[in-house]
Amino acid sequence: MQVEVVPVLDDNYAYLLVDPATRKAAAVDPVEPGKVVDAAKAHNVDIVCVLTTHSHWDHAGGNAEMKKLIPGVRIYGGKNDNAEAVDEEVDDSSSIPLGDSVVRVLSTPCHTPGHVCYVAGHGDSTVVFTGDTLFVSGCGNFNSGTPEQMYHALIEKIGKLPPQTKVYVGHEYTVKNLQFAIVAEPENEAVKQKLEWAKKMREEGKPTVPSSVADELAANPFMRVHDPALAAYTGLQNVVDILAEVRRRKTEFGRGAKCVCCVVC
């Protein structure tokens, strides 16, 4: 599968997911429709559907305009998430046609009641769009759910995808996430190396996506709650409790930071 990254707003990412055989594309979270449509023209692809990860305005806020710009475009969103202008709500049982390909759905409620992730491709070409559930070396707040739900989403769903799966996240939060991760695991060489790489990428004006499932299992404290280092950091043993405490400490670590949407930091 081909993926084109479209930076939008201050630190969001929209994407074009392209079926290479047919040049049909899905627009993922196209909050700035004009930019996404222009990108589709530049890459000579036809947008046939919109994949909405969740209902927050900085992800779903462009859906209505997409319908105006592309008559007949079909908009998907998570079941019970009530995202703007959605034609069909989807969950784990759903599959979405895209040219000769099929997009699979992972229900990942917690950040919002019906947050979903989208998976496409197979083997080495597998990609996942994680919205505000999983960030590079971070995760979203538990606004509408529980630590158990986030554990299920991160560890038992995304974490079970093939290790080489490319991960496309909803925001460019990588440097600040890794600055926290190195506090949580000061001896983790993968975190140290990734932080230096991420700083260099951002200094050059480049995105830090995609990541991979393997990279997240190595350098994301929220996906490493089974590692003894995180038990030592939190003083806890239960993995769900560790996840909740790491999320609490990350919130405290980042308090006062200015973001597009305070509920996703």
Is 56 labeled as catalytic in the residue annotation?
A: yes
247 token code pair: 């999320």
Which is the catalytic residue, given 29, 81, 152, 171? 171
Is 59 labeled as catalytic in the residue annotation?
A: yes
- Are 52 and 76 in contact by the 8 Å Cβ rule? The answer is yes
Is 122 labeled as catalytic in the residue annotation?
A: no
Is 111 labeled as catalytic in the residue annotation?
A: yes
d(CA 170, CA 13): 5
Which is the catalytic residue, given 19, 29, 81, 111? 111
Report the sign of the C-alpha dihedral through residues 217, 221, 225, 230, in that order: positive
**Which residue in the block uniquely carries the two structure tokens 């994407």?**
15
Which is the catalytic residue, given 19, 56, 115, 215? 56
Is 54 labeled as catalytic in the residue annotation?
A: yes
Is 132 labeled as catalytic in the residue annotation?
A: yes
Residue of 183, 167, 166, 172 whose CA lies nearest to 233:
183
Is 58 labeled as catalytic in the residue annotation?
A: yes
Which is the catalytic residue, given 19, 54, 152, 215? 54
d(CA 167, CA 130): 7
Which is the catalytic residue, given 19, 58, 81, 215? 58
Which is the catalytic residue, given 19, 29, 81, 132? 132
**Which residue in the block uniquely carries the two structure tokens 């917690």?**
110
d(CA 30, CA 65): 10
d(CA 35, CA 5): 11
Which is the catalytic residue, given 19, 59, 152, 215? 59
**Which residue in the block uniquely carries the two structure tokens 């594309």?**
25
d(CA 61, CA 52): 10
d(CA 101, CA 113): 28
Residue of 142, 145, 144, 140 whose CA lies nearest to 130:
140
Residues serving a catalytic function are 54, 56, 58-59, 111, 132, 171
